[in-house]
Structure 1
Amino acid sequence: MLKNQVIVITGASSGIGAETARLLSEQGAKVILAARSLDKLEAVGRTLKGPYEIIELDVGSDASVGHAFEQIWASNPRIDCLLNNAGYGRFERFVDTTVSEFEDMMNVNYLGIVRCTRAVLPRMLEQGGGQIVNVASMAGKLATAKSTAYSATKHAVLGFTNALRQEVRGTGIVISAVNPGPIDTPFFTLADPGGDYVKNVGWMMMKPQRVSKAIVKVIERRKAEVDLPWIAGFGTRLYQLVPRLADKLTYKFINKK
């Protein structure tokens, strides 16, 4: 099903971006690896079984996104799927987080998705189909202490995703969200440099292969959304039903940062 499809992956230099690229390549897709580090992208590319391109891309820059997608469109007549995966987090108390840190995180995690989506959606509308997959987070549904900036960006991503899905209904374009819990990737090198959070949630931390397999299924089946792991998905549903009661009952369990 994915053979010969052209799939762009942002944040493809490590973690679930790199792992998803490998899985998609095994299924015959042409993968376009995009991130800031060309050296890391080249290393990922050498592990792929099928055709690929590497593109230098900083999702936080209008100019970089514009230039990168000009290159992509110049060498590819169509893009079948855009996987918006680039992002980062930093877990700290609100009173210790500067306004500039809020701005930077929102610029990358949310506006980065907006920029890349604007770069592909008009062409997808012209070609009559395609898919945009946004990697959000369970933090976009269930916010926790010390993640005010990060959770806000992921709430924004989910709001954007859900609204855009309604806008393009009937066009042949699928808008998807993948909402993972904690993943064992380099993400936590910056987000949790002390390692306390990783230690506290180690029992439920997922391997990147598990998340990448879920992303590939979303692309294969053109699903609208997936939450993982299941226990986290259950928790968000409970929270949506009785948010204040859930706050009281789950505070100690979920606030592990």
Structure 2
Amino acid sequence: MQNRIAGKKIIITGASSGIGERIAWQIAENGGVPIMVARSINKLKNLQMQIKKTYQINSYAYQADLLNQKELDNVINQIIAEHTQIHGLINNAGAGVFDYVRDMQWSDVERMFQLNVFALMRGTKCLLPHFMQYNEGHIVNVASQAGKIATPKAAAYAATKHAVLGFTNSLRLETADFNIHVTAINLGPVNTNFFASADPSGDYQKNIERFMLHPDKVAMKVVKALFTDKREINLPGWMELGSKLYHLFPQALERLLKKQFDKK
């Protein structure tokens, strides 16, 4: 794996914490060059110093609020201008808020779509000509198991992840002739600060704590798949099996798993 990643420059959005931060560490550990994008430049600079101290790897930090289209365009263009070649893009930034449809705030819905879908699509579109020019690249989109099985209180969030999966699958077909790999990451609950905004009460996190994925495990799987033909990473495995059964027997699974679905 190290030979495949060594020296490759890889953009990671939402790199200041959670899964994005752990992916940056894993890339550096394998000799790659993390190009980290997030709102918090102080966190990124601190991470940059830690990576340098631990692995003697140069990484790069760029500040941008991906909710702002102009900032997103500018940071992608700046990265392309400052680096001869970018080899990969990991669209990791995302947010969620769990509410019943009757209770959801429209500002939350708009924010989720802007960050989870529009920023992901726009950043990819900005970088795609660069990958095509070099006839090389890997685009990794962090989606969710929620994009395969929607549950109560996750209508808007699940809709964004359905959109990410649709975009990813179409993009894979469009880029097949350009040696550009496209991978979707479909995750169940991960033990990160995601739930601070998604579930401020903490009830859902408490209910599913024993099932939560560790961000290091996720990061290792993602980095292991870089520059391979891996179509999807689905974690945990039992949840992916559940999603396949759900597509075959949706009504039966909704009845059988009602209590689990209602844990939010």
**Range into which the TM-score falls when normalised by the shorter chain:** over 0.9
Q: TM-score, normalised by structure 2?
A: 0.95
What is the aligned counterpart of 2:38 among 35, 38, 47? 35
For residue 149 of structure 1, report the CA deviation from its aligned partner: 1.0
Deviation string for 1:75-106 (max 9, x for gaps)? 11111100000001111111111223212210
> Structure 1 regions of 5+ residues with no counterpart?
none
Residue in structure 1 matched with residue 7 of structure 2 by the alignment = 4
**1:83-162 matched pairs, under 5 angstroms:** 83-162=90-169
Does 2:182 correspond to 1:175?
yes
Residue in structure 2 matched with residue 79 of structure 1 by the alignment = 86
**1:48-63 matched pairs, under 5 angstroms:** 48=51, 49=55, 50-63=57-70
Taking only aligned residues, the RMSD between alpha carbons, in angstroms, comes to 1.0
* CA distance in structure 2 between the aligned counterparts of 1:243 and 1:99, rounded to whole angstroms: 29
For residue 193 of structure 1, report the CA deviation from its aligned partner: 1.1
Residue in structure 2 matched with residue 26 of structure 1 by the alignment = 29
For residue 220 of structure 1, report the CA deviation from its aligned partner: 4.7
What is the aligned counterpart of 2:250 among 210, 224, 243? 243
SS in 2 for 1:95: coil
* CA distance in structure 2 between the aligned counterparts of 1:102 and 1:189, rounded to whole angstroms: 17
SS in 2 for 1:47: helix
Does 2:200 correspond to 1:197?
no
* CA distance in structure 1 between the aligned counterparts of 2:230 and 2:209, rounded to whole angstroms: 29
Equivalent residue letter for 1:228: L
Identity %: 40
> Structure 2 regions of 5+ residues with no counterpart?
none
Aligned residues of 1:109 and 1:154 also touching (Cα < 8 A):
yes
Residue in structure 2 matched with residue 216 of structure 1 by the alignment = 223
Q: What is the aligned residue count?
A: 257
Aligned residues of 1:29 and 1:51 also touching (Cα < 8 A):
no
SS in 2 for 1:179: strand
Runs of 4+ in 1 over 4 A off after TM superposition: none
For residue 154 of structure 1, report the CA deviation from its aligned partner: 0.4
SS in 2 for 1:170: helix
For residue 47 of structure 1, report the CA deviation from its aligned partner: 2.0
